[in-house]
Amino acid sequence: MKRFGILYHPGLEEARDLAGKLGDWLSAQGVNSWQCSAWDEDKAKAQVAGSDLILSIGGDGTILHVVRIITPLAVPILGINLGRLGFITDLKADEALSQLPRLLDSGGWIEERAMLQAELQERSFHALNDVVVRSTAVRLVNLEVRIDGEVLTTYRADGVIVATATGSTAYSLASGGPILNPQSKEFILQPISCHLGLSHPLVLPPKSTVSLRLVNDDKAILSIDGQAELPLSNKQDVDVKLSPYLARFLRLNQPTYFYGSLWQKLRGKA
């Protein structure tokens, strides 16, 4: 590997310090690197091309920013965890410097994860975790849901989550959804606090398209990975399907790492 990008959580002093240490170590080995806040997406996007690996320093939320920055480029990401759970990250902060030599020797393996594409009025958005339509007030909204053009139901609920396998351990799980293997291409349709109608989650095949529509004048927003939000109006369609792009992660742990750490992370003991 000849060029590294280092993207970090700007609000964490530990993340900024570690970014500096990693950059200094790489420079001492004759390896080029660049650094940027993962929140400064426009500046970071201009530097991604030509990078062999992106080091993401923070937590899962930082990785969501990083994925949005590098899409559609297929640059692998290695997550360094300073957060609490770290479902997507691979290394702890105190492991990062000691593992860099292994990275330079092309160690590890690549895990590919499905993403979602949401379309709203000729605009497209890509999400690693989930696409959510939810109420902006303390009240229910009425959302008509179609799958591949056929009406499923009209949910009267706080909202609806469409989640990837990666997102199955995030908001969807908190709302009662199932956990999918992270490399699965299936995705989840999960109502949030459903009052009437179908309240159970559905696991949909990869070729499905889910269409969400507000059927009254309730106030709602479209949320992409919980970080980008857009207001929705009555009878606007949000079409959600698998993205043509994949998120790629460099893993240093064994391929079975997910099952070995799942219970610990769910208990908050990662």
pLDDT digits over 73-86, tens only? 989 999 999 977 77
DSSP string covering 229-264, please? EEEE-TT-EEEEEEEEEEEEEEE-S-TTHHHHHHHH
pLDDT at 264: 73
- 8 Å CB contact between 132 and 193: no
pLDDT at 165: 97
95 and 197 part of one domain: no
Is residue 90 part of the annotated active site? The answer reads no
> Which residues form the domain of 214?
116-244
pLDDT at 81: 92
91 and 134 part of one domain: no
93 and 153 part of one domain: no
pLDDT at 71: 94
16 and 132 part of one domain: no
148 and 229 part of one domain: yes
Greatest CA separation for the chain: 62
62 and 166 part of one domain: no
Task: Identify the residue whose tokens are 């790629």.
Answer: 248
Catalytic residue selected from 42, 60, 158, 218: 60
The structure tokens listed for 11 are 């609000």
199 and 123 part of one domain: yes
Q: How many domains does the chain have?
A: 2
Could you give the CA distance from residue 270 to residue 266 in angstroms, rounded to a whole number? 8
pLDDT at 268: 60
Residue 58, domain CATH: 3.40.50.10330
Would you call 135 helix, strand, or coil by DSSP?
strand
List, run by run, the mean pLDDT of 10-residue segments along the chain (270 residues): 94 96 94 96 95 95 95 94 81 88 85 96 94 90 95 94 96 94 96 85 97 89 94 90 96 78 67
- 8 Å CB contact between 11 and 37: no
Would you call 73 helix, strand, or coil by DSSP?
coil
